[in-house]
C-alpha cells in the first residue's frame, strides 16, 4: 500500500548563504522568519507566509564531518548525531548550487509509512524513522529520495508535538502575519513544478502513484494518458504532466476519497521536447546540474495587490510581449473577468479562462479563470523561481497562460545566454 500524506508541511532550500536568501524572502517576498536552529555547525531558518513554510538551510561545502559533541539545551532522547546535524529533518547532501532540496509531508504514522514503502522496495531511505524530542514533545521523521534529481521527501509525524515548529528550532521574532496580510495575501503552496530530463515523466508519475497514491490531474481534456499535455510547435517544446493528492484527515482515515477531502499542492512535471530547440527546461537542467524543482506556485487571494507589494519591494517579474494585453479577445477576456488590462500589464500578470472538466473530462459549467505571473530566478543561477497564482474557480493550468509564461521566460533566458556567449567570446579574444 502507498503511504498516504496528511499534508505538505514545509519546503527546504539548501543554499550557500542563508542570510542572503532569507533576507530576499523577507524583504521582497514578505515572508516572516518565525523559527531558527542555530548551532556551531547549523544555520536553519524557518519562514512563513500563510501556511507556506520554507526552511532555508546552509548547504555544506564538504561531505559531513565527524561530530564534535556539541550540546544544546532542552534536548532529550535524541542521538548525538541528530542534535548536531547541520541539516536536521533534511538530508546532508552536498550539492554544487543553491537548490530546493526537500518537500516535507506530514503523515499519520512514520513507522508504518516507512514499513509499507520498505516492504514494496519502492524507495531509497536516506534516514530511517527517527525520533527527536524537546521540552514541547516529540516528532518522528524519515527521509526518502524522490525519483527527481536531488529532491528528497521528509515524512514527519508531529501529532505529539506542541511546540511552535519542530524540536530543535526556537522561536524568532513576533511572527505577526496580520500587518502585511492585506497587502500580500499569499495563503499556501499551490503547486511545485519539476524540470525533468527527456523520457523520464512516466517513471516519475508511476513512482508518486505507487509511493504516495498520487493521481493524474489532466491539464487538458484532450490530453493523452501516456503522452501528457504536449506543446510542440511555435517554438514551444514542452511535455507537462500533473499529479495531485488529497489531504488526509487527522481522524485516522487514511484513504483519500476525492470528494470528501481537500486537494493539497499539485505536482507538475515539465519535460523538454527537442524539436523546437534549446529551452528553459534545458537551461534549468544544465545550470542546476540535473533535474529538480524549477518553480513553486504561491497561491494568493489577490494577485494584483500581491504583485504590487512585491514589485515595490524589488521583486522582478517576467512579462509577456506587450501585444498580449492588446490582442483582440484577450482584452475582452480580462475586462469580463473584472480586471484592467493596463494594471495586469504593469506586472506581467497573465489571465486565462479555464474550461473546467470533471474526472471523466466532461466540460462542466461556467467561466472560471486563473491569473499567473512568474518571478525572475531567485538564486545565482537561472534555476529556481517563484510564481504567483490566483484561481477564480479554475483548478488547472490554462493553455494560453502556459504559452505566454513559456514565452516570457524564454525571451529572458535567450537574452541571458546571448550575454553569456558574448562575455565568453570577449574573454577568449582578450586572452
Ligand atoms: O503554468 C504553470 O504554472 C506551470 O507550472 C507550467 C509550466 C512549467 C514549466 C515552464 O517552464 C513553464 C510553465
Ligand atoms: Fe507553475
Ligand 2 centroid to Cα of residue 25, in Å, is 19
Q: Are 396 and 358 in contact (CB under 8 A)?
A: no
Model confidence pLDDT, tens digit, residues 236-246: 899 999 999 98
Kindly report the protein residue whose alpha carbon is nearest to atom 6 of ligand 1. 402
Spatial separation of the C-alpha atoms in residues 95 and 78, rounded to whole Å: 27
For ion ligand 2, residues whose CB falls within 5 Å? 193, 297, 387
- Alpha helices (runs of H) in 262-378, residue ranges in sequence order: 280-287, 303-312, 330-336, 341-347
Torsion on CA atoms 327, 272, 389, 6, rounded to nearest 10: 160
Ligand 2 centroid to Cα of residue 191, in Å, is 7
Spatial separation of the C-alpha atoms in residues 340 and 359, rounded to whole Å: 33
Q: Is 387 in the pocket of ligand 1 (CB under 6 A)?
A: yes
* 186-249+261-358+365-418 shares the fold of 5-60+82-171: yes
Q: Are 52 and 32 in contact (CB under 8 A)?
A: no
Residue 400: its pLDDT value, please?
Answer: 86
Ligand 2 centroid to Cα of residue 377, in Å, is 13
- Could you tell me which CATH number the domain at 186-249+261-358+365-418 has? 3.10.180.10
Residue 407: its pLDDT value, please?
Answer: 84
**Annotated binding residue at 295?**
yes
Kindly report the protein residue whose alpha carbon is nearest to atom 5 of ligand 1. 193
Q: Which atom of ligand 1 is nearest to the CA of 372?
A: 3
Q: What are phi and psi of 246, to 5 degrees?
A: -115, 140
Kindly report the protein residue whose alpha carbon is nearest to atom 10 of ligand 1. 406
Sequence ranges of the domains in the chain: 5-60+82-171, 186-249+261-358+365-418
Q: Is CATH 3.40.50.300 what the domain over 5-60+82-171 is classified as, yes or no?
A: no
Residue 426: its pLDDT value, please?
Answer: 80
**Annotated binding residue at 233?**
no
Q: What are phi and psi of 193, to 5 degrees?
A: -110, 125
Ligand 2 centroid to Cα of residue 348, in Å, is 15
Q: At what angle do helices 399-430 and 280-287 cross, to 10 degrees?
A: 50
Spatial separation of the C-alpha atoms in residues 327 and 284, rounded to whole Å: 31
Q: Which atom of ligand 1 is nearest to the CA of 409?
A: 11
Q: What's the predicted TM-score (pTM) here?
A: 0.91
Model confidence pLDDT, tens digit, residues 172-226: 987 666 657 778 999 999 999 999 999 999 999 999 999 999 999 999 888 999 9
Q: Which atom of ligand 1 is nearest to the CA of 397?
A: 1
Ligand 2 centroid to Cα of residue 85, in Å, is 33
Q: Which atom of ligand 1 is nearest to the CA of 401?
A: 1
Residue 62: its pLDDT value, please?
Answer: 63
SS3 content of the chain, % helix, strand, coil (to 5): 25, 35, 40
**Annotated binding residue at 191?**
yes
Q: Is 270 in the pocket of ligand 1 (CB under 6 A)?
A: yes
> Burial code of 93-115, b = ≥16 C-beta within 10 A, e = fewer?
bebebbbbbbbbbbbbbbeebbe
Ligand 2 centroid to Cα of residue 195, in Å, is 11
Q: Is 99 in the pocket of ligand 1 (CB under 6 A)?
A: no
Average pLDDT, the chain: 87
Q: Which atom of ligand 1 is nearest to the CA of 268?
A: 5
Model confidence pLDDT, tens digit, residues 96-152: 999 999 999 999 999 999 999 998 887 899 999 999 999 999 999 999 999 999 999
Ligand 1 centroid to Cα of residue 254, in Å, is 31
Q: Average pLDDT per run of 10 along the chain, which is 431 residues long? A: 90 96 96 94 94 92 51 46 78 89 96 92 92 95 97 97 96 73 91 97 96 93 92 90 82 47 88 90 96 98 97 95 88 92 96 68 66 95 96 88 86 78 77 65
For a pocket test of ligand 1, which of 189, 239, 270, 376 has the largest count of ligand atoms closer than 8 A to its C-beta?
Answer: 270
Spatial separation of the C-alpha atoms in residues 307 and 272, rounded to whole Å: 29
Amino acid at each position: 500500500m502507498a503511504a498516504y500524506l496528511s499534508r505538505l508541511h514545509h519546503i527546504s532550500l539548501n543554499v550557500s548563504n542563508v542570510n542572503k536568501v532569507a533576507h530576499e524572502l523577507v524583504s521582497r517576498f514578505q515572508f516572516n522568519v518565525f523559527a531558527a536552529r542555530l548551532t556551531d555547525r547549523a544555520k536553519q531558518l524557518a519562514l512563513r507566509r500563510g501556511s507556506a513554510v520554507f526552511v532555508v538551510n546552509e548547504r555544506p561545502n564538504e561531505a559531513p564531518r565527524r561530530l564534535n559533541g556539541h550540546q544544546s539545551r532542552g534536548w532529550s532522547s535524541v542521538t548525538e548525531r541528530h542534535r548536531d546535524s547541520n541539516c536536521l529533518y533534511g538530508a546532508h547532501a552536498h550539492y554544487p548550487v543553491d537548490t530546493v532540496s526537500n518537500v516535507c509531508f506530514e503523515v499519520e504514522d512514520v513507522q508504518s509509512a516507512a514499513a509499507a514503502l520498505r516492504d514494496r522496495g519502492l524507495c531509497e531511505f536516506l534516514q530511517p524513522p527517527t525520533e527527536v524530542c524537546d521540552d514541547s514533545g516529540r516528532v518522528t521523521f524519515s527521509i526518502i529520495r524522490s525519483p527527481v534529481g536531488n529532491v528528497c521527501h521528509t515524512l514527519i509525524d508531529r501529532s505529539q508535538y506542541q511546540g511552535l515548529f519542530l524540536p530543535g528550532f526556537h522561536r524568532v521574532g513576533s511572527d505577526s502575519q496580520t500587518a502585511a496580510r492585506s497587502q500580500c495575501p499569499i495563503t499556501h503552496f499551490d503547486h511545485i513544478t519539476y524540470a525533468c530530463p527527456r523520457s523520464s515523466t512516466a517513471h516519475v508519475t508511476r513512482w508518486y502513484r505507487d509511493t504516495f497514491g498520487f493521481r493524474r490531474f489532466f491539464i487538458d481534456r484532450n490530453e493523452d494518458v501516456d503522452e501528457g499535455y504536449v506543446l510542440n510547435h511555435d517554438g514551444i517544446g514542452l511535455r507537462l504532466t500533473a499529479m495531485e493528492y488529497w489531504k488526509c484527515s487527522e481522524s485516522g482515515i487514511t484513504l483519500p476519497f476525492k470528494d470528501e477531502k481537500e486537494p493539497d499542492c499539485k505536482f507538475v512535471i515539465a519535460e523538454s521536447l527537442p524539436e523546437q530547440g534549446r529551452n528553459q527546461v534545458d537551461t534549468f537542467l544544465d545550470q542546476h546540474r540535473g533535474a529538480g524543482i524549477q518553480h513553486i506556485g504561491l497561491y494568493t487571494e489577490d494577485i494584483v495587490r500581491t504583485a504590487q507589494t512585491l514589485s515595490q519591494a524589488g521583486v522582478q517579474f517576467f512579462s509577456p510581449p506587450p501585444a498580449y494585453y492588446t490582442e483582440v479577445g484577450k482584452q475582452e477576456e480580462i475586462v469580463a473577468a473584472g480586471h484592467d488590462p493596463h494594471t495586469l500589464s504593469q506586472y506581467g500578470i497573465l489571465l486565462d479562462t479555464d474550461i473546467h472538466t470533471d474526472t471523466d473530462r466532461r466540460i462542466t459549467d461556467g467561466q472560471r479563470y486563473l491569473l499567473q505571473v512568474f518571478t525572475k530566478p531567485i538564486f545565482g543561477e537561472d534555476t529556481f523561481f517563484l510564481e504567483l497564482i490566483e484561481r477564480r474557480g479554475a483548478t488547472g493550468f490554462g493553455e494560453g497562460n502556459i504559452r505566454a509564461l513559456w514565452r516570457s521566460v524564454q525571451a529572458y533566458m535567450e537574452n541571458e545566454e546571448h550575454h553569456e556567449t558574448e562575455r565568453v567570446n570577449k574573454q577568449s579574444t582578450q586572452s
